[in-house]
């Protein structure tokens, strides 16, 4: 597609339920990122996928959070047993992800985000 697509755009769930958030990156982009943005705050890194390499999961806040990327394209972020503090906007981004690129040179294209509200 022309841009990064995320779904759902809004999700309201009850505490304790599981949720899945989907990200469809720009075609051909090998790098995919998930960030979390709480109200009025900056972006908190969650996880990063680059091609067939093992993902960088260093930002996942707990084992309730997991993500996968199937076929090097679409990614799903899963939050199990949601808590109220999980309420936030979850942003997905992709980039061309050239492997020889120096750190900080990868330009990210973001989706509009999935707003999660846990009641």
Partner 1 sequence: SQQGEEDPQALSIQEGENATMNCSYKTSINNLQWYRQNSGRGLVHLILIRSNEREKHSGRLRVTLDTSKKSSSLLITASRAADTASYFCATGAGAGSYQLTFGKGTKLSVIP
What span, in angstroms and rounded, lies between the C-alpha atoms of 102 and 29? 17
Q: How far is CA 39 from CA 4, 14, 53, 77, 87, in A?
A: 22, 19, 32, 19, 9
Cα–Cα nearest to 1, from 113, 84, 109, 117? 109
CB of 107 to partner 1, least distance (A): 5
What span, in angstroms and rounded, lies between the C-alpha atoms of 22 and 76? 5
Q: Which stretch binds partner 1 (CB under 8 A): 14-22, 43-51, 60-68, 73-81?
A: 43-51
Residue 65 found at the interface with partner 1 (CB under 8 A): no
Nearest residue (CB) to partner 1, 80 versus 115 = 115
Residue 39 found at the interface with partner 1 (CB under 8 A): no
Residue 97 found at the interface with partner 1 (CB under 8 A): yes
Residue 119 found at the interface with partner 1 (CB under 8 A): no
Nearest residue (CB) to partner 1, 91 versus 118 = 91
């Amino acid at each position: 597609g022309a841009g990064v697509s995320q779904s759902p755009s809004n999700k309201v769930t009850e505490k304790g339920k599981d949720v899945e958030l989907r990200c469809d990156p720009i075609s051909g982009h090998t790098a995919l990122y998930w960030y979390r943005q709480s109200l009025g705050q900056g972006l908190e890194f969650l996880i990063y996928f680059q091609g067939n390499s093992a993902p960088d999961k260093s930002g996942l806040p707990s084992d309730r959070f997991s993500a996968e990327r199937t076929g090097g394209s679409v990614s799903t972020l899963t939050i199990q047993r949601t808590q109220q503090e999980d309420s936030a906007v979850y942003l997905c981004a992709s980039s061309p992800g050239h492997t020889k690129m120096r750190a900080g040179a990868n330009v990210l294209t973001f989706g509009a985000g999935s707003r999660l509200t846990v009641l």
